[in-house]
């Protein structure tokens, strides 16, 4: 499995998204695969030449959320499924999907993180801002 995961990372760096997706689908859906699937969905969406419609974005980000949820169900403490950036992305997605309860839940997780540094502090400020808007 490690070789396939390394190959999927390489395919993503090379922007061979379809091949990466097919490879990830061929591997048992464990947390290491789940977060990579969510990352792939995010990268595919954010690198499009034209911004997709709101409906397409909602469906796409819901797919990414479903992948992350699958990874967290398998291992609630998996590091790559619990990064601040992922938590914040999830909070933003739930905010856009108008799921205030889930948005607040993930904003609280970001704010509770003990990591330090400018990226962590920036993420915590943004999570606080999102929480205040809800």
Q: 1-17 burial string, b = 16+ CB within 10 Å, else e?
A: eeeebeebeebbeeeee
Contact criterion met (CB below 8 Å) for 36 and 24: yes
Which residues are within 8 A (CB) of 70 and not within 5 positions of it... i.e. 6 or more apart? 29, 34
Tokens of 33: 């695969």
How much is the pLDDT for 117?
64
How much is the pLDDT for 20?
98
Domains with residue ranges and CATH for the chain: 1-82 (1.25.40), 84-134 (no CATH)
**What pTM does this model have?**
0.64
How much is the pLDDT for 75?
80
Kindly list the distances between the CA atom of residue 96 and the CA atoms of 9, 29, 79, 90, 122, in Å, as whole numbers in the listed order.
Answer: 28, 27, 25, 10, 20
How much is the pLDDT for 58?
82
Tokens of 86: 């992922």
Q: Which residues in the chain land under pLDDT 50? A: none
What digits encode the pLDDT tens for the residues 2-16? 999 999 999 999 999
How much is the pLDDT for 118?
59
């Amino acid at each position: 499995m490690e070789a396939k995961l390394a190959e999927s990372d390489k395919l993503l760096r090379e922007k061979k998204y379809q091949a990466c997706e097919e490879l990830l689908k061929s591997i048992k859906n464990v947390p290491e695969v789940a977060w990579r699937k969510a990352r792939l969905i995010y990268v595919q969406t954010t690198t499009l030449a034209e911004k997709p419609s709101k409906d397409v974005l909602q469906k796409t980000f819901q797919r990414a959320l479903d992948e992350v949820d699958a990874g967290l169900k398998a291992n609630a403490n998996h590091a790559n499924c619990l990064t601040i950036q992922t938590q914040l992305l999830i909070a933003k997605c739930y905010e856009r999907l108008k799921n205030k309860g889930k948005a607040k839940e993930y904003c609280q997780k970001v704010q509770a993180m003990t990591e330090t540094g400018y990226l962590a502090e920036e993420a915590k400020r943004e999570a606080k801002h999102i929480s205040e808007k809800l």
